[in-house]
């Protein structure tokens, strides 16, 4: 073989694309926590990002080494390293469904600063659970891919994409339309149409750059452009082992396992697909090695405070077409790591306006939903739509909760202070609404796993696999009984149903509903014929 070269002409483009992808994920993560939940920004940049960046650095360096090893083994000098970076769906999912809600929960009792630290511990614990799930699943990845329908795996993320990325971010974007719509227009032009910018300049970078220019132009007093004062900081921060994690790892963090498990499984399926795609274009990586390497990177990141898992990116063939070899993953890993430790990533996160990033989130939401439908096929399109419903209910629950609980607390305080008004105050919110709220609360808890169960049930029935659907529904019944899904508590915790306060029948009602539905399908399918049997 000719000597395998670390760098080629395509590594520059590959590096910029992979580096920007990871940077956008970090900016997105920061924006979600600060904009949606009011999370203290310095906790994110100084405690969460360094460990998260360490996981990316370790993974990319190991993938660079695997490319060298494969080149030596095969004698090929055209081997392209598999790209690795932050997994977009779970990075967004952890922000929305784990760290943000945990922060609001702890903030009420501990204050913003300590509440943020506890939420960080929860996030780290969930990442460690993900790493464990990925490690175990890497030995059974092919079986998981065969058993769980694509509509259930990706459809559950389509709900996150449609609700939290597309719809919610579009709403926020319109708060500053002069910046947001310009960036969104560039995203639509360059990423969703046949048009391409000169010199193959990345459309996402152009959208952020133009949006930032318009945003900062607003500081000059141009009418119609809203801008806020910026506080650029670059604080050197090394990854650190968060010892407080051990106080929540087997405690409070367990309630988030319904989120950690599906996200971990999804990256396993993605890793299998990536290595299969790499083989098609001539890079014959070992699937299990790639999966185990990814789980190791996630584990190391979590042990040092990281709150997002790494994953092998599906764009390997695109990087190969660029002519990239292994230099781009080496540079990305080093610069993401050093940039986080020296404060450069923190500086960039503060420099880039959040409203200029929102259009990229909207595009990602569209892309996730589009991928869910195209990868699942027309036959399972209804199953994907079914999988989106729990995310809508979760969004509704979070919005209603933000109003309902403070109002109820204020009414109770007034009732205690003015006992003569208790009767009148009790009618401010109609009695039937309290029951409706408890149902909405239960439907909003564990929605990722709920979406997988519903999507799998619909997909199995579409395939004429009634017994598989029965198993999916029965699994839902068991999970609902212990609060893994449809938890009867506002914190979404897992429990033994008989330990709940008297009168709380939600675990029994939901579990019975799932099991009775499973029994109905089993019996009716036994006395029915499929279309092919007629």
**Where do the domains of the chain lie?**
11-172+227-359, 382-533
Q: Are 59 and 86 in contact (CB under 8 A)?
A: no
Q: Give the pLDDT of residue 23.
A: 85
Q: Give the pLDDT of residue 420.
A: 65
Least confident range of 120-124, 262-266, 499-503? 262-266
For residue 111, the 8-state DSSP code is -
- pLDDT tens figures, 369-399: 887 888 788 899 999 999 999 989 988 887 7
Q: Give the pLDDT of residue 487.
A: 86
Q: Give the pLDDT of residue 101.
A: 86
Residue 438 has pLDDT above 60, yes or no: yes
Least confident range of 30-44, 159-173, 253-267, 432-446? 253-267
- pLDDT tens figures, 63-108: 999 999 998 888 888 889 998 988 877 787 788 888 988 998 899 8
Choose among 484, 441, 475: nearest CA to 455. Answer: 475
For helices 11-31 and 327-342, what crossing angle results, to 10°? 40
- pLDDT tens figures, 161-205: 788 778 887 887 888 888 889 889 988 888 778 887 887 777 777
> What is d(CA 334, CA 311) in angstroms, rounded to the nearest whole number?
17
Q: Which residues on neighbouring strands pair with residue 84, listed in sequence order?
A: 312
Residue 474 has pLDDT above 70, yes or no: yes
Which pTM was predicted?
0.71
Least confident range of 21-25, 32-36, 270-274, 521-525? 270-274
The strand pair at 84-86 and 310-312 is best described as antiparallel
Q: Are 127 and 86 in contact (CB under 8 A)?
A: no
Helix (H) or strand (E) holding 152: helix 150-159
Report phi then psi at 489, rounded to 5.
-110, 155
Beta strands in 116-183 (DSSP E): none
> What is d(CA 204, CA 21) in angstroms, rounded to the nearest whole number?
9
Helices then strands (H, E): number in the chain?
24, 2
For residue 352, the 8-state DSSP code is S
Confidence of residue 12 (pLDDT cuts 50, 70, 90): confident
> What is d(CA 390, CA 97) in angstroms, rounded to the nearest whole number?
13
Q: What is the DSSP string of 63-81?
A: HHHHHHHHHHHH--S---P
Choose among 251, 237, 249, 263: nearest CA to 97. Answer: 263
> What is d(CA 335, CA 328) in angstroms, rounded to the nearest whole number?
11
Choose among 337, 302, 314: nearest CA to 127. Answer: 302
Residue 298 has pLDDT above 60, yes or no: yes
> What is d(CA 107, CA 105) in angstroms, rounded to the nearest whole number?
6
| Torsion angle defined by CA atoms of residues 159, 165, 171 and 177, in that order, rounded to the nearest 10 degrees | -150
Q: Are 217 and 331 in contact (CB under 8 A)?
A: no
Choose among 232, 100, 87: nearest CA to 168. Answer: 100
Q: Are 485 and 453 in contact (CB under 8 A)?
A: yes
Of 18-22, 174-178, 212-216, 453-457, highest mean pLDDT:
453-457
Q: Are 474 and 522 in contact (CB under 8 A)?
A: no
> What is d(CA 172, CA 355) in angstroms, rounded to the nearest whole number?
8
Least confident range of 111-125, 189-203, 240-254, 417-431? 417-431
User: Cα 58 to chain center, whole Å?
Assistant: 21
Q: Give the pLDDT of residue 423.
A: 64
């Amino acid at each position: 073989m000719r000597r395998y070269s670390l760098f080629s002409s395509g590594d520059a483009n590959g590096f910029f694309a992979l580096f920007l992808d990871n940077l956008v994920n970090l900016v997105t993560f920061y924006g979600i926590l600060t904009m949606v939940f009011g999370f203290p920004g310095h906790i994110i940049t100084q405690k969460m990002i360094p460990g998260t960046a360490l996981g990316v650095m370790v993974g990319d360096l190991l993938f660079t080494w695997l490319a060298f090893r494969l080149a030596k083994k095969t004698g090929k000098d055209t081997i392209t390293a598999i790209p690795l970076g932050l997994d977009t769906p779970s990075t967004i999912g952890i922000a929305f469904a784990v760290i943000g809600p945990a922060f609001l929960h702890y903030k009420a009792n501990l204050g913003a600063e300590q509440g943020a630290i506890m939420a960080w511990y929860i996030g780290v614990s969930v990442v460690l659970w993900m790493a464990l799930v990925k490690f175990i699943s890497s030995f059974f990845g092919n079986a998981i891919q065969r058993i769980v329908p694509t509509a259930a795996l990706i459809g559950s993320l389509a709900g996150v994409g449609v609700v939290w990325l597309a719809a919610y971010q579009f709403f926020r974007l319109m708060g500053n339309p002069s910046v947001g719509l310009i960036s969104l227009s560039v995203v639509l032009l360059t990423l969703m149409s046949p048009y391409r910018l000169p010199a193959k300049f990345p459309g996402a970078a152009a959208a952020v750059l133009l949006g930032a220019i318009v945003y900062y132009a607003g500081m000059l007093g141009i009418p119609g452009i809203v801008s806020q004062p910026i506080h650029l900081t670059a604080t050197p921060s090394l990854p650190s082992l968060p010892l407080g994690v051990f106080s929540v790892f087997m405690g409070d963090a367990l309630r988030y396992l319904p989120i950690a498990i599906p996200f971990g499984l999804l990256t396993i399926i993605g890793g299998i697909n990536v290595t299969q795609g790499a083989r098609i274009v001539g890079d014959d990586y070992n699937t299990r090695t790639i999966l185990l390497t990814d789980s190791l990177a996630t584990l190391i990141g979590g042990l040092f405070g990281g709150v997002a898992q790494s994953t092998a990116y599906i764009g390997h063939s695109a990087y190969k077409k660029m002519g990239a070899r292994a230099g781009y993953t080496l540079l990305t890993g080093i610069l993401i790591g050093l940039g986080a430790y020296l404060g450069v990533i923190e500086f960039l996160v503060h420099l880039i306006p959040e409203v200029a990033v929102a259009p990229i989130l909207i595009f990602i939401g569209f892309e996730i939903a589009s991928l869910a439908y195209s990868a699942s096929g027309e036959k399972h399109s209804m199953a994907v739509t079914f999988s989106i419903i729990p995310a809508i209910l979760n969004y509704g629950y979070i919005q209603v909760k933000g109003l309902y609980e403070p109002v109820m607390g204020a009414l109770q305080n007034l009732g205690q202070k003015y006992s003569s008004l208790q009767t009148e105050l009790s009618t401010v919110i109609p009695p039937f609404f309290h029951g409706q709220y408890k149902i909405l609360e239960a439907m909003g808890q564990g929605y990722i796993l709920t979406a997988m169960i519903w999507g799998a049930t619909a997909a199995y029935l579409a395939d004429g696999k009634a017994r598989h659907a029965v198993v999916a529904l029965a699994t839902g019944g068991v999970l609902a009984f212990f609060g893994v899904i449809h938890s009867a508590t506002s914190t979404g915790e897992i429990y033994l149903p008989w330990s709940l306060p008297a009168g709380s029948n939600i675990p029994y009602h939901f579990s019975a509903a799932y099991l009775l539905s499973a029994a109905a399908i089993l019996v009716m399918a036994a006395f029915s014929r499929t279309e092919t049997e007629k």
